[in-house]
Chain A
């Protein structure tokens, strides 16, 4: 019998434990964050990358459109344009954090794949370290962007 048929017969059968069952700890958080940040990168991140590349290829005018939305709407922006600008900036922040989080936890995965780092304390330490590294790398990029483009 197919899984779907079994589920249709008895929808109340026991399911495997999911997120809400576990106590939050760095080790479990990093697992679900890896998945969530991967999803953000694969959707918002990659579309932004393609938008950026095609804006460069499309010439000065199309690059100005990209900059207006994602970087800064400028001095003469209307309230609506500023709101749209902030929406894209927040998406950009999410993509930047996702990139560094996925990178750090991906490197952690590669280390685990060779069989290292499973001792409880070590595992916990490196899970926390990945979050901290992603946080500081994101903060660095935010400061870089703020000083280079926004004149802060």
Chain B
């Protein structure tokens, strides 16, 4: 016997369990990625040289560190959404799927925190190599 209401029974169903939220987030982070990676590619093409000292000074500037951190957060969010779909499509065993999703979350969160820390440290403590 299921005494829940009809809406209660269907909520949270579907393979993603989040309705349209995942789809919309994927598109919004995609638009963010287009702007932020275009900024990175143009910056790299305009770089006078690729010595460590030049790059460190470049990266330590607030006008570079801030978009770089935004790009790291945005890229890893977008990658999490995309790899989630790959897991949902190709990993059919419930246990393996749970494990793969957990690993994916560890991977993206750890990587993003690492990247943000690297950029923040350089920006806050200066590019003294």
Give a binary string over B40-56; 1 marks a CB under 8 Å from any A CB, 0 the rest.
Answer: 00000100001011011
Interface: B86 (CB within 8 A):
yes
* Tally of contact residues, B, Cβ under 8 A: 32
Give the residue name and chain of the B residue nearest to A109 (CB): B30
Give the residue name and chain of the A residue nearest to B57 (CB): A56
> A103, B55: Cβ atoms under 8 Å?
no
Assuming the A-B contacts A59-B129, A63-B55, A103-B37, are A46 and B93 also in contact, with contact meaning beta carbons closer than 8 angstroms in the complex? no
Interface: B59 (CB within 8 A):
yes
Consensus secondary structure, chain A interface:
helix
Q: Which residues does chain A contribute within 8 Å of B115, judged by CB atoms?
A: 49-50, 53
> A50, B30: Cβ atoms under 8 Å?
no
> B119, A106: Cβ atoms under 8 Å?
no
Give a binary string over A84-95; 1 marks a CB under 8 Å from any B CB, 0 the rest.
Answer: 000000000000
* A57–B114 CA distance with the chains assembled, in angstroms: 12
> A46, B111: Cβ atoms under 8 Å?
yes
> A39, B34: Cβ atoms under 8 Å?
no
> A53, B118: Cβ atoms under 8 Å?
yes
Assuming the A-B contacts A39-B83, A39-B86, A107-B34, are A56 and B52 also in contact, with contact meaning beta carbons closer than 8 angstroms in the complex? yes
Interface: B62 (CB within 8 A):
no
Consensus secondary structure, chain B interface:
helix
Give a binary string over B74-118; 1 marks a CB under 8 Å from any A CB, 0 the rest.
Answer: 011001001100100000111000000000000000010011001
Q: Which residues does chain A contribute within 8 Å of B31, judged by CB atoms?
A: 110
* Tally of contact residues, A, Cβ under 8 A: 32
Taking beta carbons and an 8 Å cutoff, which residues of A are in contact with B? 2-4, 7, 35, 38-39, 41-42, 46-47, 49-50, 53-57, 59-60, 63-64, 99, 103, 106-107, 109-110, 113, 144, 148-149
Taking beta carbons and an 8 Å cutoff, which residues of B are in contact with A? 27, 30-31, 33-34, 37, 45, 50, 52-53, 55-56, 59, 68, 72, 75-76, 79, 82-83, 86, 92-94, 111, 114-115, 118-119, 121-122, 129
Given contacts A53-B115, A57-B121, A110-B27, 11 further A-B contacts (CB under 8 A): A7-B92, A41-B79, A42-B83, A49-B115, A56-B122, A59-B52, A63-B55, A64-B52, A106-B33, A107-B34, A110-B31
22 contacts between A and B (CB under 8 A): A4-B94, A35-B86, A38-B82, A39-B86, A46-B75, A46-B76, A46-B79, A49-B72, A50-B114, A50-B115, A50-B118, A54-B114, A56-B55, A56-B118, A57-B56, A57-B118, A57-B122, A64-B52, A107-B34, A110-B27, A110-B31, A113-B27
